[in-house]
Amino acid sequence: MLWFWFFVILGAGTLMASLYGLLTHRSRGRRWVAPLHFLALILVCTAMLTTHEEFAGRMALAAAVALEALVWFARPLSFYRRPKSASSNAVATASPLTAPAYQSSPAPDVRPSSSEASSPVDQPNDDFYVAVNDLRDPPIIEWATVSHVLLRRHYDVVPSVFYASLRRSGQRDATLIDASPADEAIRVQVDSILLELRSVTGACELPVLQASSTEGRAHADIAEDVLHHDAHVTLTSVYQTDIRPDQVVRLHHRVHAALAEFAPVVAILWPAAGRIVPSDHLPELLAQASEPDQPMLRTCTDFRVSSFEEADSQMVSESVGLFAFGLPDVQIVTPGEPGELVTVALHQIAERFFVSGCDLANGSDVSLGDGNAWQIRHARSALPPDRQVVQIVMKRGQGVEGARGQGI
């Protein structure tokens, strides 16, 4: 009699687990678990029909219990994929942009070389890939992009409340992943993007935050609040580099808006770009995230013009923040202040990289529409932060050759 009740209780528990898994697999995890729950259900029914007195019945129940245990214990591990160690490279695939104002020589179907800041142009560097549309077997790695939500005071984000708010913001395909009681992070799965939210007491102590606030890149009316915020929420999205960057940015914008619905949000910080977005801009960004034709580049990156300390005549116009998505930033080196055509070309090339990946081969020529001949160099950034860049410099014999003319 004891074995009978043990068989009944174990079978009933396994039956409920398999039915619950079948009914909730869409909202609780990946869809691949559904066939396993269904198989366990069949095994439980087989065990009930053959009873505990038959060897086949006992084995069927044991197999069902083992299968359900495997599914329920293995699923959390499959959701949280920590980013692998990777160099600063990536491939992003998307529909190409319309023909830009600049024109370049076609990129070959090879993995080109790269040059360090003080190295010859033709020195190979295996840490850099150029993503061209026809590249065969492009490398796919995992990448992580981070943004910070700055808060006036500490706020404990409730997973269920946040999840409901996120769905209201438009991310209705999001899945809230169950976490253990000891886990302080909230994790959300959207397609193949895993987003982690982690609440932190205390200010976000990043040098880029101090620089952005003191150099006037933060709006004057929130500069003090930004510098003296008391807490923040760090958002980390983990995804493979075949995911378009704009998908990641749209998700972050929706999460920012969801948090601002109930948390005391001061501003958003995109640390790679040093970009600070006031909280009152979040409704506008949320609206842009719902428009498919919005490229989203200018909502998470920055553009700036700087001069070299050792070459007063040379200026660098650059994008900052593409490297947060595994893409090279763009730098255009000019002998003096950049003209309007150079500035337009910088924005167009950066936007093209953001949408379609890097398609400018090392050593190739490019026209920016200003009548000068320019050349592409793959290099480390000449200015902080240190990152991989596609540098566009005047060919020898044109303009002013500064101290860094060949080394950038």
Element (H, E) at 374: strand 374-380
How many domains does one find in the chain? Answer: 2
Q: What percent of the chain has pLDDT over 70?
A: 71
**Statement to judge: residues 173 and 282 lie in one domain:** yes
Question: Residue type for 358, please?
Answer: C
Q: What pLDDT, on a 0 to 100 scale, did the predictor assign at position 153? A: 92
- The full DSSP string for 188-235 is EEETTEEEEEEEEES----HHHHHHHHTT-S-TTTHHHHHT--EEEEE
Same domain, 72 and 175: no
The answer to whether residues 72 and 148 belong to one domain is no
212 and 289 housed in the same domain = yes
192 DSSP β-pair partners: none
Asked if residue 43 is part of any domain, the answer here is yes
* Omega of the bond leading into 159 within 30 degrees of 0 (cis): no
Q: Are residues 288 and 149 in the same domain?
A: yes
Burial string for 201-214 (b: 16+ CB within 10 Å, else e) reads: eebbeeebbeebbe
Under the banding of pLDDT at 50, 70 and 90, the label for residue 88 is very low
Which of 79, 111, 128 delimits the end of a domain? 79
- Structure-model confidence comparison of residues 109 and 225, the more confident one: 225
Buried b (16+ CB within 10 A) or exposed e, 82-117: eeeeeebbbbbbeeeeeebebebeebeeebbbbbee
pTM for this one? 0.64
Yes or no: say if 79 and 189 are a contact pair by the CB < 8 Å rule. yes
Mean pLDDT in residue range 183-207: 87
24: domain range?
A: 2-79
Whether residue 164 sits in one domain with residue 55: no
For residue 34, being part of any structural domain is answered with: yes
In-domain check, residue 268:
yes
What would the two tokens of residue 253 be?
A: 């914008």
Task: Yes or no: say if 91 and 242 are a contact pair by the CB < 8 Å rule.
Answer: yes
Q: What is the pLDDT of residue 293?
A: 84
Out of 241, 268, 296, pick the residue that ends a domain: 296
pLDDT digits (tens, 9 = 90+) for 356-369: 888 888 988 888 88
Q: Out of 47, 64, 79, pick the residue that ends a domain.
A: 79
Residues 26 and 146 in one domain: no
pLDDT greater than 50 at residue 171? yes
Q: What is the CATH number of the domain that holds 174?
A: 3.30.1400
237 within domain boundaries: yes
206 & 63 share domain:
no
d(CA 207, CA 271): 9
Compare 8 and 286 and report the one with higher pLDDT.
Answer: 286
pLDDT of residue 295: 80
Q: Does residue 143 have a pLDDT over 80?
A: yes
